Structure 1
Amino acid sequence: MKRHFKLAALSLAVLSSTSAFAQDSQEPDYKQWFGLSGMYYNTDPGRPLAEGIYDDGQGVSFEYGFRFTQSWAARIEYTDLELDYRSPISSGSDSEDGEMVGVDALYFMPDDMYYLFGGIKRQSVGESTTLANIGIGKHWDLADSVKIITEVATYHDFGEDYNDYSVKVGVSIPFGKSTPTAPQDSDNDGVIDSRDQCAMTPAGVRVDATGCAVDNDNDGVLNSVDQCPNTPAGVNVDAKGCAIKDSDNDGVVDAKDMCPDTEAGVKVDAKGCVVFDEEKVEITLRVLFDNESAVVKMPKDPEISEFAEFMKQYPSTTAVIEGHTSAPGTEAYNMDLSKERAASFKDVMVDMYGIDSSRLETVGYGETRLLDTANNAEAHRINRRISVTVEETVKVPEEK
C-alpha cells in the first residue's frame, strides 16, 4: 500500500511539472469557489488503535478555493467526520465524531478536463494524526453558477504506515469570474505575442501568420519570390524584386527606352524620347551706313556675327535684306544706293560667314520707308541703313 501511495505521488508530480507552464500565465475562468460535499471515508484495516479498529465512515466537507491561474489553485478544507468503531471486547459497533482540516494545492488540466491535488490534513477522530493526501477530481458544469464536485483521494499517515482513502461528491459555487482580455500584440502587426515569431516587426510592415515580414525590403515583392531581398528604398523593381535600370534617369527603364541618352530635366514620352513644344524664334539686325556709301564698315561687329550664327543654327530659314537711304538726293539715286547697300551686306554674309546665297534675297526701298522724317543730321543718320529679320518655328524640349 505504501508503494502505491508513493507511485501516485510521483505521478502527480510528473503530470504537474510537464504541463505547468502551458497555461500558467492565463487568466482563470473563475477565481474562487465555495464547496459543500458528502464524503465516504474508508480506513486502512491496519490502522493501529489502543483498542478496537476503525471500519469506515462518512462526513460533510466544506471548502474554499482560490485559482491563481488557469492551471493552479489552492483550497482550505474542513470535514466534519464520523468514523465507525468496533471494539474487540464488544460485539457491537459504535462511532466516533471528529474533524479533518487541511490545505491542498490543485493543478487543473487544460479545459478543466480534471484536476490533480495534494496537501496536508490534520485529522482528529479519537486520536489526532497528520496525513498527507493526493487525489484526482473534476468540477462538472451543471449550470453557469453551479458545478458538481467529484473526487477520489488517498491519505498516508506520517507517523504510522497506513493508508486511508475517500470518495467525495458535492457542489461548488464559483465566483469572481475573470473579464476576458484581448490577447496582447506588442508590435501591433495583427499577430498576438503567443504566436509571433518576429516580435519586434517595424510599424507598417506586412507580416505572415507567424508575425514575420513577408517583404523585408518593402519593394512590393514577397520574400518567397524576391531574388534581390535587400533592394534600397525607393528603387523600382521588376517582378523578381530586382532593381530596374534606367541609365538616363528619365523614368523609362532601359529595356523600353528608345532614346537612352535623354538630357536631364526634359520631359519624355512612354518610349523615353523627348517631348517637344513648338516655339517661334526670330532675330532682327540693323546696320547703318555712311552718307552716300554702300560699304559695311564693321563686318565683324558682334551683332552681325550673332546674326550669322542664327542663320547657321536654323539652316532652313531664309532672309530678305532691305536697303534704305535718307531723304536728301533724287529718288532714283537713293533707290540705286539702297539696292547697293543690301547687296553689299549679302556679300558679307556669303563671303565672310559662309551663308548660302540662295537663302538671302535683297531689295531696295530708297527713301520710301524713313524711320525718322525730320530734316536733320540725326534723322539722316538712322535712315541710312539695311534691316533684316529672320523668323523660324522650331521644336524645343519640354521641361518637366
Structure 2
Amino acid sequence: MKKLALATAVIAACISTTSVAQEAPPYENWVGGFAQYYSADADKPEPVGGLDDGYGFGAEMGFRFDPSWAIRFELGRVLIDKDDRIPGAAADDGVQLGADMMYFLENDKAYMFAGIREQSLEESYRMGSIGIGKHWVTDENWRVITEAATYIDFGQGYNEFSLKLGLAYVFGLNSAPKAQPDTDGDGVYDAVDRCPNTLPGVAVDATGCSMDLDGDGVMNSVDQCPRTPSGVAVDATGCEFKDSDNDGVVDSLDQCANTPSTDRVDEKGCSIFEDTEIFVELDLLFANNSSVVTNTDSEMILEFVDFMRRYPNTTASIEGHTSTVGTAEYNMGLSQRRADNTRNMLINLYGIDADRLTAIGFGETRPKFIEDNAESHRLNRRIEARVVAVIEEKATR
C-alpha cells in the first residue's frame, strides 16, 4: 500500500505542476538516458517471492509524428533487492525492453503513455505499462525527464511501480517565423502599411488604413450611410435604425414586437427559452425497528405526489436506509421493507403509476450521520427519493 501511495502522490504532483509549467516548443525526436527507482511485487518470483525495491538505468528514443502523439522505445537494466525477512528470497537483476504510445497535452504541459514491457530476470515477464510524465525545458535542445509509471503483469497479475528521472536531447525542432515590425500596432506589417500612423484601437483594412470612416462600426464596403453623425445607433447597413421594444433587433427584422425588456431574444427579436431542471425530494423518518409510514398526508408527501402528477414523464427511485444498530443482514431487509411500504403507499393511496416507482434498500451502508448516538440513529432511519423534471423557461438578460 505504501508503494501505491507513493506512486499516486508523484502522479498527482506531476498533474498539479503542469498548470504553471512553461510552454515547450514542438519537436520531432529525442534520445535520452535515465535512472529510476523500481518497486517490484513482493510475490515475485514464484513460489518463494521476496523481491523488494531497487533501481534501474537505461536509455530511450522517441519519435513524435504529430503535435500530440509520439512513440517511444526504451532499453534498461533493473537491479532489484531482496526482502531479508522472507526465507529463501534472492535479489535479481536483468534487462527490460519497452515500447509506449505517448499523448502530449496542450503546450506540452505533460504527457500520458501506455505500452508494454518485456522484463528478463531469472524468469521472463510481459507487462502492460501506464503512466504520466513531463519533459521540462532547460534550453532549446535539452529536456529533463520526470515520469511515474505502473506495470501490470499479463500472466500472473503482478503490480509494480517506477519513478524515472532523466535527461533528453531533442532534435527536429519546428522554429517559429520571426515577427515582422508593426510600428503603429494595427496588425498590418510596416512593409505593406499605407497608413503607418493609425491611432490605437482603430479598425483597419488589409492596407492598414481605417475601414470605418464615420466610426459607426460598419465597414466602408457595406456602409450604405457613410456619413452617419457620431453617436447615432446604426443597423447592419450603417444607417440609423429604430428598435421600438429596445431588444436590440431593428423593427424591420423584428418578428416579435413588444418583447418584454427583461427577455433575451434571438436574431428575430423573439424570446429565447431554455431548459431548466426543477426537482422535489422526499425524506421520511421511521421509528426504531419499524417500516410503517406514518403521517401519509404530510406536507412533504403531498408536495412529492403533486410534483409527480404535474410531470407524468418523471420516475423516482425510493431508497430505504437504517441506522447501524442491529445486524447488517437484518437492517438490509428492514430498509427494503421501508422502501417497499413507501412505494406501495404512493401507488395505493395516491394513484402513482407503479412503473414510475422503484424501491431499493441499502441497509446501514449509506448512513447520513456517522456518530454513534441516539440522534444520529434516529436520523439514519429514513427514506430518500428525488424526482427531476425539465421545463422550458424564458432566458433573461
Query: Normalization by structure 2: what TM-score?
Result: 0.41
Q: Which has the larger radius of gyration?
A: 1
- Using the size of structure 1 for normalisation, the TM-score is 0.40
